[in-house]
Amino acid sequence: MAPVDMDALKSKKVPIIWVLGGPGSGKGTQCERLIQRYGFQHLSSGDLLRDEVASGSAKGKELNEMMKNGVLVPRAVVLDLIKQAMLKNLGSAKGFLIDGYPREVEQGVDFEDQIAPAALVLYFDCSDETMTERLLFRAKSSGRADDNEETIKKRLVTFHQCSEPVIKKYAEKCVSISANTDVDTISKKCFESVDKTLKDLGLPVPSN
Ligand code: AP5
């Protein structure tokens, strides 16, 4: 894999927000709300990987097997996809929502070393029961190979083992939001945190 030059992004200094939480905690749903309010670019590691799978490449086939097993794909693969997507969307970016990344401590370290530090970490704290219920409901229409009972169980195990330590490591810049409730209540808490981060960075905050 050829190294990706991230200097253009480093010099632009746009805020980067990591959006974390277990499978079905509402990361994608809340990112939609955040895009509407702030006009940020949204990059979901899961979507980038599914695009690679859909391309039919040999790499995509390997990734699909791992995703169907609910395990993490190799970290160089996902970081490279994120770098490429950030550079592609840099022109108009007011900020980046990085959804579903980092999922293990090493991914966070790689990102901040090779790209830039995250300004804020939003973590959606949700019970396994609620997440499972939401994903099983979504399974009726999503067509996702990993939205089935067996893989959801594995995704939850991977989350608890690999991703919870990320929250501990970045506790200082992490805001934990209870995500067992309705979408609007969660959005309100997200907006409060992002507004504060923008203010702290001396950046404009939406007026409504
Ligand atoms: P990824 O695509 O990131 O999936 P995930 O983390 O398992 O979570 P989802 O995207 O399914 O859920 P979400 O939290 O976004 O919730 P959503 O808003 O959609 O990852 C898939 C796989 O790719 C991984 O298992 C791994 O193999 C691989 N991968 C990804 N990133 C990786 C990385 N960094 N490193 C290595 N491997 C990686 O909501 C879910 C449902 O609930 C929806 O139907 C929604 O309408 C509903 N809902 C949302 N919020 C609420 C609410 N408050 N109340 C009621 N319903 C709600």
Give residue 103's pLDDT: 97
Distance CA 19, CA 90 (A): 19
Q: What per-residue string of b and e applies to 70-86 under the rule 16 or more CB within 10 Å gives b?
A: bebbebebbbbbbbebb
Pick the CATH number of 17-198 from 3.30.1360.30, 3.40.50.300, 3.30.230.10, 3.40.50.1980: 3.40.50.300
Give residue 1's pLDDT: 60
Please name the residue ranges forming H helices in 16-122: 27-38, 45-54, 58-68, 75-88, 105-114
Kindly give the number of the ligand 1 atom that is closest to the alpha carbon of 22. Answer: 6
Kindly give the number of the ligand 1 atom that is closest to the alpha carbon of 179. Answer: 53
Give residue 4's pLDDT: 72
Ligand 1 atom 8 nearest Cα: 23
Give residue 62's pLDDT: 96
Ligand 1 site-directed mutation target among 49, 78, 140, 164, most atoms within 8 Å of CB: 49
Give residue 186's pLDDT: 98
- pLDDT, tens digit, 9 for 90 and up, residues 34-71: 999 999 999 999 999 999 999 999 999 999 999 999 99
Q: What is the pTM of this model?
A: 0.97
- pLDDT, tens digit, 9 for 90 and up, residues 124-143: 999 999 999 999 999 999 99
Residues of the chain with pLDDT under 50: none
- Ligand 1 centroid to residue 207 C-alpha, Å: 30
Give residue 52's pLDDT: 95
Give residue 100's pLDDT: 98
Ligand 1 atom 19 nearest Cα: 28
Query: Domain spans of the chain?
Result: 17-198
Give residue 2's pLDDT: 64
In Å, how far are 156, 157, 198 from 151, measured between CA atoms?
9, 10, 38
Give residue 93's pLDDT: 87
